[in-house]
Protein backbone atom coordinates (compact mmCIF):
# COMPACT_ATOMS: atom_id res chain seq x y z
CA UNK A 1 0.00 0.00 0.00
CA UNK A 2 1.44 3.36 -1.05
CA UNK A 3 0.89 6.68 0.67
CA UNK A 4 2.40 10.16 0.48
CA UNK A 5 5.22 9.12 2.76
CA UNK A 6 5.99 5.93 0.88
CA UNK A 7 4.74 2.48 1.74
CA UNK A 8 2.52 2.20 4.79
CA UNK A 9 2.23 -1.55 4.66
CA UNK A 10 5.30 -3.54 3.76
CA UNK A 11 5.50 -7.23 2.83
CA UNK A 12 5.30 -9.36 5.94
CA UNK A 13 3.17 -6.97 7.98
CA UNK A 14 0.64 -8.94 10.05
CA UNK A 15 -2.34 -6.99 8.69
CA UNK A 16 -4.88 -9.48 9.99
CA UNK A 17 -3.69 -9.06 13.54
CA UNK A 18 -3.59 -5.28 13.21
CA UNK A 19 -7.11 -5.33 11.76
CA UNK A 20 -8.34 -7.42 14.68
CA UNK A 21 -6.76 -5.01 17.16
CA UNK A 22 -8.06 -1.93 15.35
CA UNK A 23 -11.57 -3.31 15.42
CA UNK A 24 -11.38 -4.87 18.85
CA UNK A 25 -10.20 -1.85 20.76
CA UNK A 26 -13.03 0.47 19.64
CA UNK A 27 -15.32 -2.47 20.35
CA UNK A 28 -14.56 -2.11 24.04
CA UNK A 29 -15.82 1.46 23.93
CA UNK A 30 -19.06 0.67 22.17
CA UNK A 31 -22.42 0.68 23.85
CA UNK A 32 -23.40 -2.75 25.05
CA UNK A 33 -27.08 -2.17 24.57
CA UNK A 34 -27.97 0.51 22.12
CA UNK A 35 -30.81 0.85 19.69
CA UNK A 36 -32.01 3.41 17.25
CA UNK A 37 -35.64 4.22 16.73
CA UNK A 38 -35.50 5.64 13.24
CA UNK A 39 -39.12 6.37 12.50
CA UNK A 40 -40.20 2.90 13.50
CA UNK A 41 -41.73 1.95 16.80
CA UNK A 42 -39.28 -0.92 17.00
CA UNK A 43 -35.80 -0.71 18.41
CA UNK A 44 -33.16 -1.68 15.87
CA UNK A 45 -29.89 -2.78 17.47
CA UNK A 46 -26.81 -0.71 16.76
CA UNK A 47 -23.46 -0.61 18.48
CA UNK A 48 -21.87 -3.78 19.77
CA UNK A 49 -24.89 -6.12 19.43
CA UNK A 50 -25.22 -5.22 15.77
CA UNK A 51 -21.48 -5.64 15.12
CA UNK A 52 -21.67 -9.11 16.63
CA UNK A 53 -24.68 -9.87 14.44
CA UNK A 54 -22.81 -8.89 11.28
CA UNK A 55 -19.53 -10.56 12.18
CA UNK A 56 -21.22 -13.78 13.30
CA UNK A 57 -23.03 -13.96 9.93
CA UNK A 58 -26.43 -14.58 11.51
CA UNK A 59 -29.07 -16.02 9.23
CA UNK A 60 -31.42 -13.08 9.88
CA UNK A 61 -30.83 -9.88 11.82
CA UNK A 62 -32.85 -9.34 14.96
CA UNK A 63 -34.79 -6.53 13.38
CA UNK A 64 -34.58 -6.65 9.61
CA UNK A 65 -35.35 -3.39 7.87
CA UNK A 66 -35.14 -1.73 4.49
CA UNK A 67 -34.70 1.79 3.17
CA UNK A 68 -36.56 2.25 -0.08
CA UNK A 69 -36.29 5.40 -2.14
CA UNK A 70 -38.99 6.06 -4.70
CA UNK A 71 -38.39 7.39 -8.19
CA UNK A 72 -37.37 11.03 -8.44
CA UNK A 73 -40.72 12.20 -9.82
CA UNK A 74 -42.67 10.81 -6.85
CA UNK A 75 -40.20 11.68 -4.10
CA UNK A 76 -41.68 15.07 -3.14
CA UNK A 77 -45.31 13.93 -3.27
CA UNK A 78 -46.20 12.77 0.23
CA UNK A 79 -49.53 11.23 -0.77
CA UNK A 80 -48.02 9.19 -3.56
CA UNK A 81 -45.17 7.94 -1.37
CA UNK A 82 -47.64 7.02 1.35
CA UNK A 83 -49.69 5.09 -1.18
CA UNK A 84 -46.59 3.14 -2.32
CA UNK A 85 -45.74 2.44 1.31
CA UNK A 86 -49.24 1.15 1.99
CA UNK A 87 -48.95 -1.21 -0.94
CA UNK A 88 -45.70 -2.61 0.49
CA UNK A 89 -47.10 -3.54 3.87
CA UNK A 90 -47.98 -7.19 4.15
CA UNK A 91 -51.63 -7.56 5.12
CA UNK A 92 -52.98 -10.89 6.25
CA UNK A 93 -56.60 -11.57 7.06
CA UNK A 94 -56.31 -11.59 10.84
CA UNK A 95 -54.69 -8.15 10.80
CA UNK A 96 -57.81 -6.50 9.38
CA UNK A 97 -60.53 -8.76 10.72
CA UNK A 98 -61.86 -10.34 13.86
CA UNK A 99 -62.21 -14.08 13.43
CA UNK A 100 -64.23 -16.61 15.37
CA UNK A 101 -65.03 -20.27 14.97
CA UNK A 102 -68.23 -21.97 16.07
CA UNK A 103 -67.67 -25.71 16.43
CA UNK A 104 -71.32 -26.53 17.13
CA UNK A 105 -72.61 -24.96 13.95
CA UNK A 106 -69.39 -25.80 12.06
CA UNK A 107 -68.97 -22.20 11.01
CA UNK A 108 -66.15 -19.65 10.86
CA UNK A 109 -67.23 -16.06 11.30
CA UNK A 110 -65.07 -13.22 9.99
CA UNK A 111 -65.83 -9.60 10.71
CA UNK A 112 -63.65 -7.24 8.73
CA UNK A 113 -62.81 -3.89 10.30
CA UNK A 114 -64.34 -1.22 8.00
CA UNK A 115 -61.85 1.51 8.96
CA UNK A 116 -58.93 -0.77 8.07
CA UNK A 117 -60.62 -1.51 4.75
CA UNK A 118 -60.86 2.18 4.02
CA UNK A 119 -57.27 2.88 5.09
CA UNK A 120 -55.87 0.19 2.84
CA UNK A 121 -58.27 0.94 -0.01
CA UNK A 122 -59.57 -2.61 -0.11
CA UNK A 123 -62.87 -3.98 -1.31
CA UNK A 124 -64.92 -6.68 0.43
CA UNK A 125 -65.42 -8.40 -2.91
CA UNK A 126 -61.65 -8.87 -3.20
CA UNK A 127 -61.45 -10.39 0.27
CA UNK A 128 -64.37 -12.66 -0.49
CA UNK A 129 -62.72 -13.74 -3.74
CA UNK A 130 -59.46 -14.48 -1.91
CA UNK A 131 -61.24 -16.59 0.70
CA UNK A 132 -63.22 -18.50 -1.94
CA UNK A 133 -60.05 -19.13 -3.92
CA UNK A 134 -58.30 -20.42 -0.81
CA UNK A 135 -61.11 -22.71 0.32
CA UNK A 136 -62.03 -24.15 -3.06
CA UNK A 137 -65.02 -26.43 -2.58
CA UNK A 138 -64.29 -27.30 1.05
CA UNK A 139 -66.96 -24.98 2.39
CA UNK A 140 -69.63 -22.46 1.44
CA UNK A 141 -68.86 -18.76 1.72
CA UNK A 142 -71.57 -16.19 2.45
CA UNK A 143 -70.81 -12.49 2.55
CA UNK A 144 -72.98 -9.66 3.79
CA UNK A 145 -71.46 -6.19 4.05
CA UNK A 146 -68.31 -6.59 6.13
CA UNK A 147 -69.18 -10.01 7.51
CA UNK A 148 -68.10 -13.29 5.99
CA UNK A 149 -69.62 -16.60 7.07
CA UNK A 150 -67.88 -19.83 6.14
CA UNK A 151 -70.15 -22.82 6.44
CA UNK A 152 -68.69 -26.30 6.61
CA UNK A 153 -70.70 -29.49 6.15
CA UNK A 154 -72.16 -30.97 9.37
CA UNK A 155 -69.84 -33.97 9.14
CA UNK A 156 -66.65 -31.89 9.02
CA UNK A 157 -64.18 -32.76 11.77
CA UNK A 158 -63.49 -30.06 14.35
CA UNK A 159 -59.75 -30.40 13.90
CA UNK A 160 -60.10 -29.58 10.20
CA UNK A 161 -62.02 -26.42 11.04
CA UNK A 162 -59.27 -25.33 13.39
CA UNK A 163 -56.61 -26.07 10.78
CA UNK A 164 -58.48 -24.08 8.14
CA UNK A 165 -58.91 -21.26 10.64
CA UNK A 166 -55.18 -21.09 11.32
CA UNK A 167 -54.39 -21.00 7.64
CA UNK A 168 -57.08 -18.40 6.99
CA UNK A 169 -55.52 -16.12 9.58
CA UNK A 170 -52.38 -15.92 7.48
CA UNK A 171 -54.24 -15.53 4.18
CA UNK A 172 -52.35 -13.09 1.98
CA UNK A 173 -54.54 -10.11 1.15
CA UNK A 174 -52.12 -7.48 -0.02
CA UNK A 175 -48.50 -6.38 0.02
CA UNK A 176 -45.15 -8.12 0.13
CA UNK A 177 -44.56 -11.05 2.50
CA UNK A 178 -42.21 -10.44 5.46
CA UNK A 179 -42.65 -6.65 5.30
CA UNK A 180 -44.47 -5.98 8.51
CA UNK A 181 -44.50 -2.21 8.56
CA UNK A 182 -43.84 0.58 6.12
CA UNK A 183 -43.60 4.19 7.12
CA UNK A 184 -42.47 7.27 5.28
CA UNK A 185 -39.68 9.52 6.49
CA UNK A 186 -38.98 13.07 5.41
CA UNK A 187 -35.43 13.89 4.44
CA UNK A 188 -35.07 17.49 3.30
CA UNK A 189 -37.88 17.96 0.82
CA UNK A 190 -38.03 14.35 -0.20
CA UNK A 191 -39.69 11.35 1.31
CA UNK A 192 -38.46 7.80 1.48
CA UNK A 193 -39.89 4.58 2.87
CA UNK A 194 -38.47 2.64 5.77
CA UNK A 195 -39.86 -0.82 6.41
CA UNK A 196 -39.74 -3.20 9.31
CA UNK A 197 -38.96 -6.60 7.86
CA UNK A 198 -37.11 -7.19 4.64
CA UNK A 199 -37.78 -8.86 1.32
CA UNK A 200 -35.28 -7.68 -1.23
CA UNK A 201 -36.17 -10.08 -4.04
CA UNK A 202 -39.76 -8.86 -4.22
CA UNK A 203 -39.16 -5.17 -3.54
CA UNK A 204 -36.74 -4.71 -6.45
CA UNK A 205 -39.49 -5.85 -8.82
CA UNK A 206 -41.72 -2.88 -7.98
CA UNK A 207 -41.93 -0.29 -10.76
CA UNK A 208 -42.26 2.84 -8.60
CA UNK A 209 -39.06 2.50 -6.62
CA UNK A 210 -35.47 3.47 -7.32
CA UNK A 211 -33.89 0.03 -7.63
CA UNK A 212 -30.32 1.26 -7.44
CA UNK A 213 -30.59 2.60 -3.92
CA UNK A 214 -32.65 -0.05 -2.15
CA UNK A 215 -30.90 -0.95 1.07
CA UNK A 216 -31.53 -3.78 3.50
CA UNK A 217 -29.71 -4.67 6.70
CA UNK A 218 -30.18 -8.39 6.04
CA UNK A 219 -26.78 -9.29 4.61
CA UNK A 220 -27.68 -12.93 3.96
CA UNK A 221 -30.54 -11.73 1.79
CA UNK A 222 -28.19 -9.47 -0.19
CA UNK A 223 -25.99 -12.52 -0.74
CA UNK A 224 -28.97 -14.53 -1.95
CA UNK A 225 -30.33 -11.91 -4.35
CA UNK A 226 -27.29 -9.90 -5.48
CA UNK A 227 -24.40 -12.29 -4.91
CA UNK A 228 -21.29 -12.53 -2.80
CA UNK A 229 -19.63 -9.33 -4.03
CA UNK A 230 -22.67 -7.24 -3.15
CA UNK A 231 -22.82 -8.95 0.24
CA UNK A 232 -19.21 -8.04 0.85
CA UNK A 233 -19.98 -4.41 0.05
CA UNK A 234 -23.01 -4.58 2.32
CA UNK A 235 -20.87 -5.81 5.24
CA UNK A 236 -18.43 -2.94 4.76
CA UNK A 237 -21.24 -0.40 4.58
CA UNK A 238 -23.06 -1.83 7.58
CA UNK A 239 -19.96 -1.88 9.80
CA UNK A 240 -19.00 1.64 8.71
CA UNK A 241 -22.46 2.95 9.60
CA UNK A 242 -22.27 1.39 13.06
CA UNK A 243 -18.78 2.73 13.74
CA UNK A 244 -19.78 6.22 12.59
CA UNK A 245 -22.95 6.16 14.71
CA UNK A 246 -20.83 5.37 17.76
CA UNK A 247 -18.36 8.12 16.94
CA UNK A 248 -15.47 5.71 16.61
CA UNK A 249 -13.02 6.68 13.89
CA UNK A 250 -11.78 3.50 12.26
CA UNK A 251 -9.86 3.22 9.02
CA UNK A 252 -12.08 1.70 6.36
CA UNK A 253 -9.24 -0.57 5.17
CA UNK A 254 -9.58 -2.78 8.22
CA UNK A 255 -13.27 -3.22 7.48
CA UNK A 256 -12.46 -4.01 3.85
CA UNK A 257 -9.96 -6.63 4.97
CA UNK A 258 -12.39 -8.21 7.41
CA UNK A 259 -15.22 -8.40 4.89
CA UNK A 260 -12.90 -9.78 2.21
CA UNK A 261 -11.82 -12.49 4.62
CA UNK A 262 -15.45 -13.28 5.48
CA UNK A 263 -16.42 -13.60 1.81
CA UNK A 264 -13.34 -15.33 0.40
CA UNK A 265 -14.91 -18.79 0.25
CA UNK A 266 -17.87 -17.76 -1.90
CA UNK A 267 -20.30 -17.78 1.01
CA UNK A 268 -20.37 -15.56 4.07
CA UNK A 269 -18.35 -17.15 6.84
CA UNK A 270 -18.68 -16.09 10.43
CA UNK A 271 -15.62 -15.03 12.35
CA UNK A 272 -15.33 -17.81 14.89
CA UNK A 273 -15.03 -21.52 15.27
CA UNK A 274 -17.78 -22.33 12.78
CA UNK A 275 -16.35 -20.02 10.17
CA UNK A 276 -12.99 -18.50 9.50
CA UNK A 277 -11.06 -19.84 12.48
CA UNK A 278 -12.55 -23.31 12.10
CA UNK A 279 -11.50 -23.53 8.43
CA UNK A 280 -7.87 -22.47 8.72
CA UNK A 281 -5.35 -24.51 6.77
CA UNK A 282 -3.04 -25.37 9.65
CA UNK A 283 -4.08 -28.07 12.11
CA UNK A 284 -2.21 -26.54 15.02
CA UNK A 285 -3.66 -23.11 14.22
CA UNK A 286 -7.17 -24.56 14.42
CA UNK A 287 -6.40 -26.55 17.55
CA UNK A 288 -4.93 -23.51 19.25
CA UNK A 289 -8.20 -21.62 18.91
CA UNK A 290 -11.09 -23.70 20.17
CA UNK A 291 -12.07 -27.38 20.35
CA UNK A 292 -8.46 -28.50 20.53
CA UNK A 293 -9.14 -32.23 20.90
CA UNK A 294 -11.63 -32.37 18.05
CA UNK A 295 -9.19 -30.90 15.55
CA UNK A 296 -6.23 -32.97 16.69
CA UNK A 297 -8.19 -36.24 16.66
CA UNK A 298 -9.76 -35.56 13.26
CA UNK A 299 -6.40 -34.58 11.79
CA UNK A 300 -4.76 -37.74 13.09
CA UNK A 301 -7.55 -39.93 11.69
CA UNK A 302 -7.09 -38.41 8.25
CA UNK A 303 -3.28 -38.32 8.57
CA UNK A 304 -3.23 -34.61 7.79
CA UNK A 305 0.01 -32.76 7.41
CA UNK A 306 0.84 -29.38 8.94
CA UNK A 307 3.28 -27.39 6.86
CA UNK A 308 4.04 -25.10 9.84
CA UNK A 309 3.64 -22.08 7.60
CA UNK A 310 1.41 -19.96 9.84
CA UNK A 311 2.11 -17.72 12.80
CA UNK A 312 0.39 -19.78 15.50
CA UNK A 313 2.10 -23.03 14.50
CA UNK A 314 5.53 -21.45 14.77
CA UNK A 315 4.73 -19.87 18.12
CA UNK A 316 3.74 -23.31 19.41
CA UNK A 317 6.92 -25.06 18.31
CA UNK A 318 9.13 -22.10 19.21
CA UNK A 319 10.42 -21.05 15.84
CA UNK A 320 10.72 -17.58 14.37
CA UNK A 321 7.24 -16.53 13.26
CA UNK A 322 6.88 -15.65 9.59
CA UNK A 323 5.98 -11.99 10.09
CA UNK A 324 7.97 -8.90 9.24
CA UNK A 325 11.65 -9.68 8.91
CA UNK A 326 10.89 -13.27 9.90
CA UNK A 327 9.25 -13.84 6.51
CA UNK A 328 12.58 -13.47 4.71
CA UNK A 329 14.34 -16.72 4.01
CA UNK A 330 17.88 -17.24 2.91
CA UNK A 331 18.57 -19.32 -0.14
CA UNK A 332 22.08 -20.56 -0.80
CA UNK A 333 23.07 -20.47 -4.46
CA UNK A 334 25.56 -23.27 -4.19
CA UNK A 335 26.87 -23.39 -7.76
CA UNK A 336 27.84 -19.77 -8.23
CA UNK A 337 29.10 -19.31 -4.70
CA UNK A 338 31.67 -22.09 -4.84
CA UNK A 339 32.96 -20.92 -8.20
CA UNK A 340 33.59 -17.46 -6.86
CA UNK A 341 35.34 -18.91 -3.83
CA UNK A 342 37.71 -20.86 -6.07
CA UNK A 343 38.74 -17.78 -7.96
Q: In DSSP terms, which residues pair with 149 in a beta bridge?
A: 109, 142
Shorter beta-carbon distance to another protein: residue 101 or 221: 221
**What is each CA distance from 140 to 128, 136, 146, 217, in whole angstroms?**
11, 9, 17, 44
d(CA 294, CA 233): 34
Residue 129 binds another protein, judged by CB under 8 A? no
Confirm or reject binding of residue 249 to another protein (CB under 8 A): no
Are the beta carbons of 62 and 53 closer than 8 angstroms? yes
Give whichever of 111 and 237 is closer to another protein, judged by the CB atom.
237
Residues 209-228 that bind another protein (CB under 8 A): 211-214, 222, 224-228
Segment near another protein (CB under 8 A); pick from 55-63, 108-116, 145-153, 257-265: 257-265
Cα–Cα distance between 15 and 7 in angstroms, integer? 14
Measured CA to CA, the distance from residue 73 to residue 190 in angstroms comes to 10
State the nearest-atom distance from the C-beta of 264 to another protein, in Å: 4
253 binds another protein (CB under 8 A): yes
Nearer to another protein, 145 or 305 (CB): 305
Could you tell me which stretch among 35-43, 93-101, 173-181, 256-264 binds another protein (CB under 8 A)?
256-264
d(CA 108, CA 113): 16
Q: Binders of another protein among 267-286, rule CB under 8 A?
A: 267
**Cα dihedral sign, 227-229-235-240:** negative
Q: Kindly state whether residue 263 participates in binding another protein, applying the rule CB under 8 A.
A: yes
Q: Residue 24, Cα to own-chain centre: how many angstroms?
A: 22
264 lines the binding site for another protein (CB under 8 A): yes
| CB distance 303 to 314 below 8 Å | no
Q: Count the helices and strands in the chain (H runs, E runs).
A: 15, 14
Q: For residue 6, state whether it binds another protein (rule: CB under 8 A).
A: no
Where in 180-209 is the site for another protein (CB under 8 A)? 204-205, 207
Q: In whole angstroms, how close is the CB of 206 to another protein at the nearest point?
A: 9
List contacts with another protein (CB under 8 A).
Answer: 204-205, 207, 211-214, 222, 224-230, 233-234, 236-237, 252-253, 256, 260, 263-267
Amino acid sequence: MRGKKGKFIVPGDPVGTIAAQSLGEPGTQMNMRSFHYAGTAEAVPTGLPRVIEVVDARRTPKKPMMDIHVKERYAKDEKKVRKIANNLEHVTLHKIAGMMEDFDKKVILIRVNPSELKRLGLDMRLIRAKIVEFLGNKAKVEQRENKVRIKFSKKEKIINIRKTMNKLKLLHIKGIPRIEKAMIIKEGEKYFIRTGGSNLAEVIKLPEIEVGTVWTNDIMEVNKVFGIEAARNAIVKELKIIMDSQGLPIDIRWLLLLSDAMCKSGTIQAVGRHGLSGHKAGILARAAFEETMKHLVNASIKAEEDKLSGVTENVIIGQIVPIGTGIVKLKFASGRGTQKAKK
